Structure 1
Amino acid sequence: MRGIWGLVAVVLALCVGCSTVDGTAVPPSASNHPALVKPVEVRRVVETAPDIKLRDNAGEEYTLGPVEMRLEQFTRAYIQFSPEGGGYMINLELPGDLAAKFGELTTANVDKRLAMIVDNTVVFAPTVTSPIVGGKVQIQQNYTQQQAKDLLDAIGGER
């Protein structure tokens, strides 16, 4: 488990890992996508006026702002071998309503860090390098298959 959370340091360099996929998202029916057992909170990582401080499993402490949004379901969440080779990546697809809100949030926070939190533990805290619209997020860090699976399990598992 310690090795998995050591990856969080790698995720912090996610500048090239978040990408935008062009296209129009078709809002799916909420009943088609089961809710996550524990929602994923999205918060800005802040330097001043802290709302709350949380740690990741590697012990790094983050000063976080208020909850910006809660991801309570994913249309899809899966790992796949990176087309660029070298390892596995995590893919998250958000339903229409969450995709639109996430697009607005990432547009307003380019060059800032957003943390994804489950059960009061920071799972990811990447820097947003460009707006992520369309609801498709790819986290490309050349993970081993097991590392990618463990991180995906931390945010609710494959769907």
Structure 2
Amino acid sequence: MTQQPWDTPPAPNRGRGPLVVVIALVVVLIALVATGVVLVLKRDDHKPAQPHTAQVVQFRRVLKATAGTCSTPAPQMVCGTDGTAYLLGPVELDGSHISEARAQQRDTTWYVGLKLDAEGTNLFTKLTTSLAGKQPPANQLAIVVGNQVVTAPTISSPITGSQLEISGNYTKQQAEDLAAKITG
């Protein structure tokens, strides 16, 4: 007997199961990619800035300081942000040892927090140890940013930690600007 086209058995019903599984896998894949992108972007927003060159930040001994006389600095003199003229020693620590620089706030006071690498911490400890106990200006340490002394604190005792603060009654904007100068 010959089989007629209308006698053909119907094709097996596969249903929508495989299609649903494929769609679910695509949705999960998209969600994972979106989560990864958000995490990467969020991590980059909070990444501390690092200086671009060693010369951006310098730590130097103060040899002489003359208040309010730095309208046109003489050779080997560096002006302070307050107009003080500083005669400075050679660079003893530079920006290549700063691993982090950012504007930070404690209570209502803004400052720039710096973090030194291991070698920088060792150099800074030796430098502040040699300055401690001397008379001004021989106990002052100039922090030079972009060829300008931003602060020149007196060192009364050795500083041994890797976390440093540059403070000076900064506003939030001033601290952010200084951190930006440090990071280039």
TM-score scaled by length of structure 1: 0.64
Q: Distance in 2 between matches of 1:57 and 1:80?
A: 20
1:54 is aligned with what amino acid?
V
TM-superposed CA distance for 1:35, in Å, is 5.1
Relative contact order, higher structure (CA 8 A, sep 6+) = 1
How far does the alpha carbon of each residue in 1:124-144 deviate from its partner, in whole angstroms, 9 at most, with x for none? 222223322121112344421
Moved over 4 A (4+): none
1:153 is aligned with what amino acid?
A
C-alpha change, 1:94 and 1:115, in structure 2 (3 Å) is same
Task: Count residues with an aligned counterpart.
Answer: 121
1:156 aligns with 2:172: no
**Structure 2 match to 1:63:** 87
Higher helix share: 2
**Structure 2 match to 1:37:** 53
1:107 aligns with 2:129: yes
How far does the alpha carbon of each residue in 1:54-101 deviate from its partner, in whole angstroms, 9 at most, with x for none? 11344321111222232314222112211xx22212211000011111
* Equivalent residue runs for 1:64-103 within 5 Å: 64-82=88-106, 85-103=107-125
What is the RMSD of the two structures over their aligned residues, measured on CA atoms? 2.6
Percent identity between the two aligned chains: 36
Structure number with larger C-alpha Rg: 2
TM-score scaled by length of structure 2: 0.56
Q: Distance in 2 between matches of 1:69 and 1:141?
A: 21
Structure 1 gap ranges (5+): 1-32
